[in-house]
Structure 1
Amino acid sequence: MMSDTPDILCIGSVLWDVIGRSNSSMRQGSDVPGRITQLPGGVALNIAMTLRRFGLTPALLSAVGQDTAGEQLIAETEAMGLICKHLYRSADLPTDKYMAVEGANGLIAAIADAHSLEAAGEKILAPLQDATLGSLDAPYSGLIALDGNLTLTLLSKIAKDPLFASADLRVAPASPGKAARLRPFLDQTRATLYVNLEEAELLCQKSFDTAAVAAQALIARGAARALVTHGGNLAAEADASGLRQATPPQVLVARVTGAGDTFMAAHISAELSGAHKQDALEQALQAAARYVSGETTH
C-alpha cells in the first residue's frame, strides 16, 4: 500500500510530454520519419518519477485539469506510487502539455504550454498553508524540489516566504528560456540550484568557459549551493565548503528531454542515502548518462 507521508514535495509542472524523436540529424524545416510518444512529464513530475524509481515517495503540488487528459494523467501517476491528492484540480483550466522534437543531433525545438500552472498561481501551494503539509506556525521542514515553470511573481514570493524558511529547497529552471525566473533565489541564499552551463550564464548575465567557473559565480551571486552540468564535459558543484568536479560517463545519446531532471533527482536521492558530496555528484551524473543512453525508462 502506498504511503501517504511524502519523503519530498515536487512543486511545478505536471503535464503530458509529447515527444517526436528521429534517428536522423535535423535542422529547421526537416521532415523525417521517427516515433511520436505521449508520456507523463513536466519537470516536477519527471523529478518525482525518478525519485520514485530510487525508492522514495514524492508528493506533487501542481495544477491538473479535470478534463480527460487530467484524469488519465493522474491515474497513470498514482499507479507509479506518487502522491497526487494535494494537486490543485481546476474545472476551468485544461491539463498542460509539453511538445519537443529531437533528432540524432539533439533537441531541435520544444514548446512548453504551462499556462494552466501559471494561471493557478498560489492555489497550488494551499497544502503548505492550511496545515495539510505545513503552516506559518509549523512550516514544512522537509525536502522540496521546485521548478521554474511557476511565474516569476510566485517564485519571488517563494524565495522569501516564511512558509519555505525551514525547507531544504532544491530549485531547477524548466528550460534556458525560463532560467532568469530563478534570480530571486540568488538574493535569498536559501536554495540549491541545479542548472546547465547555458542557464548559469543567463542567471549571471555573463559567459563561462567551464561548469566550475559558473558554479563559483552563482555562489558569489548569492546561491547557497550550485550544481552546474555541461553536457558530456566536466560538471561542478560549489558551496561555502568548496568546489567539487566530476566527468559524466561517455554514452551514445538516445534522448535529451528529462536528462536534467534525472540528474537532480538522482543527486537528491544519493544525498538522502548518505552519500558524501563528491560521491553524490558522481552518482547523479551516472544516472543521467544511463537515462540519455536509453538504458533507463522514462
Structure 2
Amino acid sequence: MATVLVVGGANVDVVAQSTGSFTAGTSNPGRTYSSAGGVGRNIAANLGRLAVPTTLIAAFGNDTFGERLYAETAAASVDLTHSVTLNMPSGSYLAMLDGTGELVGAVSDMKAAESLRAEHVPEQVIATAAYVVLDANLSAEVLEHVCRLAAASRVPVVIDPVSVPKADRVARVLKAGPVHTITPTRTELVTLTGEDDLAGGVAALHDLGVGRVWVREGASGSTLFTAEAKTHVAAITADVRNVTGAGDAMAAAYVHALITGHDDVTAAKHGAAAAYLTITSEHTVRPDLSPALIEQVLKEQE
C-alpha cells in the first residue's frame, strides 16, 4: 500500500468535562485529562491504526509535551522522519465539554504548527505520496507550497479547514492546485466561500477545482457533494462519551477507504463509522480502531 503524507498540527489536548450540564461563568464539578492531539497528528495516528503506511510532518516543541507527542505518535506506527523539533513550547488545545460530551468551548495554542516552514516539507516526500492530507493549523505559505507541489505530481489532496478562523487560510490557497476533498462545517464553508447558501458555497468550491465537498453537520451526519451528485450520510446513533477527535477519525477512515479501492460514498460511510467508534470511546484516537471494526459497525447498520 502506498504512503499517505499528513502535514499538520500536533499538540497535547487537555479536556475538562463537567459532571452534568455546563454553567458558564462559574466552576463546574467534573474531571480533567490529557492526551496526544492535533488534527494532523490525530489523522496520522488513526491512519496508522488502520494499517496505512503514513508519514507525518509536524512541529514538536522541545518540552515534555513534545516528547510525549512524539512517542505516542510513533507508537501508532507513524513515520516521523521528516517531523521537526523546534525551540518553543509544544502546541496545546484546551477543550471544555458538558456532561453529555458535547463541546462547550475550546482554546488552541498552535504557534508550533504555524512555525513549520515550506522547507520542512520536501518535494520528493510530496511527490511519492498516494494522498496528501493537510490541516489549516499550518501557515498559508506551507498550505500553498504543499498544494502546488502535489498538483505538479498529480497527488490528490484532502484538506481539513479545522475551524472558522483558520478556514480563511485555506480560502487563500485553493488556487494553488486542484483539491480532491475538503471537509468543512457549514460555518467554515461560509468563511471559505463568502456564500451563506449551502448550495452556493459548494458550487463556489467546485468552481475553484475542489472535486468533493464533504460538509460535516455534527449529529445530523454529513453530506458529500461531487460535481455529479449529493449524498447524505447519516450519523450513527451513539452514546456519546467524547466528541473530541471524531472529525479526525472520519478523515482517516475516508482516506483509508479510498486508498483501498472504495468509491467516494462508501469511503464517507467508513468515515461515519470511524466517527461513531471514536465518540463512543474515551480516547481521542481509539486504540483498537481497525478496518475490521469499521466493517463490523457498517454491517450492523445494514
* Structure 1 partner of 2:83: 87
Structure 1: which 5+ runs fail to align?
Answer: none
> Matched residues in 1 for 2:284 and 2:91: separation?
22
* Structure 1 partner of 2:30: 34
Alignment deviations for residues 199-251 of structure 1 (CA, whole Å, 9 cap, x no partner): 11221223246xx7754443245422211111122521122333222211122
Q: Which secondary structure does the structure 2 equivalent of 1:17 belong to?
A: strand
Q: CA deviation at 1:30?
A: 3.6
- Residues 19 and 220 (structure 1), Cα distance of their counterparts in 2 relative to 1, 3 Å cut: same
> Matched residues in 2 for 1:79 and 1:23: separation?
32
Residue 187 of structure 2 is aligned to residue 198 of structure 1: yes
Residue 151 of structure 2 is aligned to residue 156 of structure 1: no
Residue 166 of structure 2 is aligned to residue 178 of structure 1: yes
- Residues 218 and 104 (structure 1), Cα distance of their counterparts in 2 relative to 1, 3 Å cut: farther
TM-score by length of 1: 0.85
Q: Which secondary structure does the structure 2 equivalent of 1:283 belong to?
A: helix
- Residues 10 and 238 (structure 1), Cα distance of their counterparts in 2 relative to 1, 3 Å cut: same
> Matched residues in 1 for 2:172 and 2:224: separation?
20
- Residues 53 and 32 (structure 1), Cα distance of their counterparts in 2 relative to 1, 3 Å cut: same
Larger relative contact order (Cα-Cα within 8 Å, sequence gap ≥ 6): 2
Q: CA deviation at 1:182?
A: 0.9
1:19·1:36 contact (CA, 8 Å) conserved in 2?
yes
* Structure 2 partner of 1:249: 236
After TM superposition, the structure 1 stretch with the greater mean CA deviation from structure 2, 60-69 or 179-188, is 179-188
Q: CA deviation at 1:170?
A: 0.7
Q: CA deviation at 1:39?
A: 0.8
- Residues 164 and 69 (structure 1), Cα distance of their counterparts in 2 relative to 1, 3 Å cut: farther
- Residues 24 and 6 (structure 1), Cα distance of their counterparts in 2 relative to 1, 3 Å cut: farther
Aligned-partner residue type, residue 90 of structure 2: T
Q: CA deviation at 1:57?
A: 2.4
> Matched residues in 1 for 2:80 and 2:158: separation?
20
Q: CA deviation at 1:114?
A: 1.1
* Structure 1 partner of 2:21: 25
After TM superposition, the structure 1 stretch with the greater mean CA deviation from structure 2, 213-222 or 255-264, is 213-222
Q: CA deviation at 1:16?
A: 0.9
Aligned-partner residue type, residue 49 of structure 1: A
Q: Which secondary structure does the structure 2 equivalent of 1:40 belong to?
A: strand
Aligned-partner residue type, residue 204 of structure 1: T
1:25-104 alignment to 2 at 5 Å? 25-90=21-86, 92-104=87-99
Structure 2: which 5+ runs fail to align?
Answer: 286-302
> Matched residues in 1 for 2:129 and 2:69: separation?
28
Q: CA deviation at 1:88?
A: 1.2
Q: Which secondary structure does the structure 1 equivalent of 2:191 belong to?
A: helix
Alignment deviations for residues 19-47 of structure 1 (CA, whole Å, 9 cap, x no partner): 11223221421411222111111001110
- Residues 72 and 220 (structure 1), Cα distance of their counterparts in 2 relative to 1, 3 Å cut: same
1:204·1:221 contact (CA, 8 Å) conserved in 2?
no
Percent sequence identity over aligned pairs:
27
CA RMSD of aligned residues (A): 2.4
1:151·1:181 contact (CA, 8 Å) conserved in 2?
yes
The counterpart of 1:218, out of the listed 197, 205, 227, is 205
- Residues 114 and 256 (structure 1), Cα distance of their counterparts in 2 relative to 1, 3 Å cut: same
Q: CA deviation at 1:113?
A: 0.9
> Matched residues in 2 for 1:11 and 1:231: separation?
24
* Structure 2 partner of 1:11: 7
1:20·1:101 contact (CA, 8 Å) conserved in 2?
yes
> Matched residues in 2 for 1:172 and 1:259: separation?
13
After TM superposition, the structure 1 stretch with the greater mean CA deviation from structure 2, 141-150 or 250-259, is 250-259
Aligned length: 283
1:14·1:44 contact (CA, 8 Å) conserved in 2?
yes
- Residues 12 and 6 (structure 1), Cα distance of their counterparts in 2 relative to 1, 3 Å cut: farther
Residue 247 of structure 2 is aligned to residue 260 of structure 1: yes
> Matched residues in 2 for 1:69 and 1:235: separation?
33
Alignment deviations for residues 40-93 of structure 1 (CA, whole Å, 9 cap, x no partner): 110011101111221212111011123232223212221221111211122x22
Q: Which secondary structure does the structure 2 equivalent of 1:224 belong to?
A: strand
The counterpart of 1:277, out of the listed 254, 264, 272, is 264
1:197·1:214 contact (CA, 8 Å) conserved in 2?
no
2:41·2:58 contact (CA, 8 Å) conserved in 1?
no
> Matched residues in 2 for 1:93 and 1:271: separation?
37
* Structure 1 partner of 2:218: 231
